C-alpha cells in the first residue's frame, strides 16, 4: 500500500491550512488541505466550508497549466478531493509576492489607494517567519544577513515569478478575473532543481471580478465580507471554464476567438486643474462676443483598433493603458468608449 491513513499518521509539517505526510517513497509527500482558515498571522481563525477541496483542486489545475508552459513545480497528482502528492523540496523561507494592482499590505505601507494599477508588476520578498510577522526583505537582507538565497537564485525566482504572473493574468482575464496579487513559495529538490511549491488558490491570491471589482478570495474572510465559500466556489468554476478554452489558444498561440474593437479614449484636464489653453480659447470666444461659453476645457481624443477576446477584456486593457501611458490620472480624467 503506497499511502497510510491521514488519521493514524503524524504530519511531518503542519501549516496554517495544510498538513504534510511522508509516503513510502522518500522523495514524495502527501499534502492534505484542511478547511481551516487563518488571517493576520493567525490572529483570526475560522473554517471555510469546502476550502480544502477547492484549494487542492484549483492547485492541481493551475500547477498543470504552469507545467504546460514549462514551469517546474512540486506537483505530482491529486489523489483525493483534499489531497495531493507532491515532490519533497527544501522550502526557501521566502514569500515571493507579485503585485499588479495596489491592495493589502502595499496600501498600508505606502498609503496608496486600493485599486491603483501599478506602472509595472512588482516582485517583493518577505521572510517566511510567523514569529517575526513575515517582514519585508531587501536583497541584501536575503543574501548577506539571512543567507537563504544568492543573487542569481533571486534573479531566477523573480524572472520565473513574472512569467507565472503573465500566464495567470492572461488566463484569468479570459474568464473575467483580475489578478491583483499573489504569493508563491519555491523550494529545491534533492538534485537542487528549483521548483514552484506550496499551493495556488484563493488563499494566496487576490482575485477581483473584472466587471464589478467584487473580491473573490480570502479577503472576504479577512474583511468579514460574507459568502466566503461562494467566492471560493466561483473561482474554481472560472478556472474550469478557462481551461476549456486553453487547448485552442495554445495550439494557435493566438488569443481565443480574438475580435477587433474600435476604441475611443477621451482625455480632459480634471475640473480643478488649471487649463491655460482652454482659458485662452474661452477668453478669445468671449472677445468675439460668445459670452455664453463657460468652463471650456481642451483635451485630446485617441482612437485605435484593438484585438481582444472580449469587450470586457479590452476594457481592462485600455484602462491599464490610460493609467500607465495615455492619460495622467493625477491631473486628467479619461473616458473610454469601445464598440
- Closer residue to ligand C5P, CB minimum distance, 103 or 263: 103
3-state secondary structure 134-187: CCEECHHHHHHHHCCCCHHHHHHHHHHHHHHHHHHHHHHHCCCEEEEEEEECEE
Q: Contact between 218 and ligand C5P (CB under 6 A)?
A: yes
User: Which residue has the CB atom at the shortest distance from ligand C5P?
Assistant: 104
Q: Examine residue 95 and tell whether it contacts ligand C5P (CB under 6 A).
A: yes
Using CB under 6 A, which of 60, 100, 204, 315 touches ligand C5P? 204
Residue from 206, 215, 220, 313 in contact with ligand C5P (CB under 6 A)? 206
Q: Which stretch binds ligand C5P (CB under 6 A): 22-30, 70-78, 202-210, 229-237?
A: 202-210
- Residue identified by cell 499590505 is 105
Grid coordinates given for 168: 495567470
User: CA–CA separation, 306 vs 337, rounded Å?
Assistant: 12
The interface mask with ligand C5P, positions 309-338, x = CB under 6 A, is ------------------------------
Cα–Cα distance measured from residue 190 to residue 194, given in angstroms and rounded to the nearest whole number: 10
List, as one string, the DSSP characters of 284-320. Answer: HHHHTT-TT--S----EEEEEEEEES-HHHHHHHHHH
Query: Applying CB under 6 A, which of residues 56, 57, 102, 134 lies at the interface with ligand C5P?
Result: 134
- Number of Cβ within 10 Å of residue 235's Cβ equals 22
- Kindly state whether residue 165 participates in binding ligand C5P, applying the rule CB under 6 A: no
Taking CB under 6 A as the criterion, which residues in 172-201 touch ligand C5P?
Answer: 181-183
139-146: Cβ within 8 A, 24+ apart: 142/94, 146/93
Q: Which residue among 21, 168, 186, 205 contacts ligand C5P (CB under 6 A)?
A: 205
Question: In the window 52-71, what residues touch ligand C5P (CB under 6 A)?
Answer: none
Q: Does 153 bind ligand C5P (CB under 6 A)?
A: no
- Contacts with ligand C5P by CB under 6 A lie at 95, 97, 103-106, 134, 181-183, 204-206, 218
Amino acid at each position: 500500500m503506497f499511502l497510510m491513513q491521514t488519521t493514524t499518521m503524524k504530519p511531518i509539517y503542519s501549516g496554517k491550512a495544510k498538513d504534510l505526510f511522508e509516503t513510502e517513497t522518500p522523495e514524495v509527500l502527501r499534502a492534505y488541505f484542511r478547511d481551516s482558515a487563518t488571517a493576520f498571522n493567525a490572529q483570526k481563525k475560522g473554517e471555510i466550508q469546502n476550502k480544502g477541496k477547492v484549494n487542492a483542486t484549483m492547485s492541481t489545475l493551475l500547477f498543470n497549466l504552469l507545467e504546460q508552459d514549462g514551469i517546474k513545480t512540486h506537483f505530482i497528482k491529486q489523489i483525493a478531493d483534499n489531497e495531493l502528492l507532491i515532490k519533497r523540496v527544501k522550502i526557501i523561507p521566502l514569500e515571493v509576492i507579485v503585485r499588479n494592482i495596489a491592495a493589502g499590505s502595499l496600501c498600508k505601507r505606502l498609503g496608496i489607494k486600493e485599486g491603483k494599477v501599478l506602472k509595472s508588476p512588482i516582485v517583493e520578498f518577505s521572510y517566511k517567519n510567523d514569529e517575526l510577522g513575515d517582514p519585508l526583505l531587501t536583497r541584501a537582507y536575503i543574501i548577506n544577513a539571512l543567507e537563504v538565497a544568492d543573487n542569481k537564485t533571486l534573479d531566477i525566482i523573480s524572472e520565473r515569478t513574472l512569467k507565472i504572473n503573465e500566464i495567470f493574468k492572461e488566463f484569468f482575464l479570459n474568464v473575467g478575473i483580475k489578478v491583483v496579487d499573489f504569493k508563491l513559495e519555491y523550494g529545491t529538490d534533492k538534485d537542487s532543481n528549483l521548483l514552484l511549491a506550496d499551493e495556488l488558490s484563493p488563499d494566496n491570491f487576490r482575485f477581483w471580478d473584472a466587471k464589478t471589482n467584487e473580491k473573490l478570495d480570502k479577503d472576504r474572510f479577512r474583511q468579514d465580507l460574507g459568502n466566503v465559500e461562494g467566492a471560493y466556489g466561483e473561482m474554481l468554476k472560472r478556472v474550469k471554464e478557462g481551461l476549456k478554452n486553453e487547448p485552442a489558444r495554445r495550439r494557435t498561440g493566438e488569443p481565443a476567438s480574438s475580435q477587433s474593437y474600435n476604441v475611443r479614449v477621451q482625455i480632459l484636464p480634471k475640473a480643478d486643474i488649471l487649463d491655460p489653453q482652454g482659458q485662452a480659447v474661452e477668453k478669445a470666444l468671449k472677445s468675439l462676443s460668445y459670452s455664453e461659453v463657460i468652463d471650456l476645457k481642451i483635451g485630446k481624443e485617441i482612437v485605435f483598433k484593438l484585438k481582444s477576446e472580449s469587450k470586457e477584456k479590452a476594457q481592462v486593457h485600455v484602462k491599464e493603458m490610460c493609467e500607465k501611458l495615455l492619460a495622467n490620472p493625477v491631473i486628467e480624467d479619461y473616458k473610454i468608449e469601445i464598440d
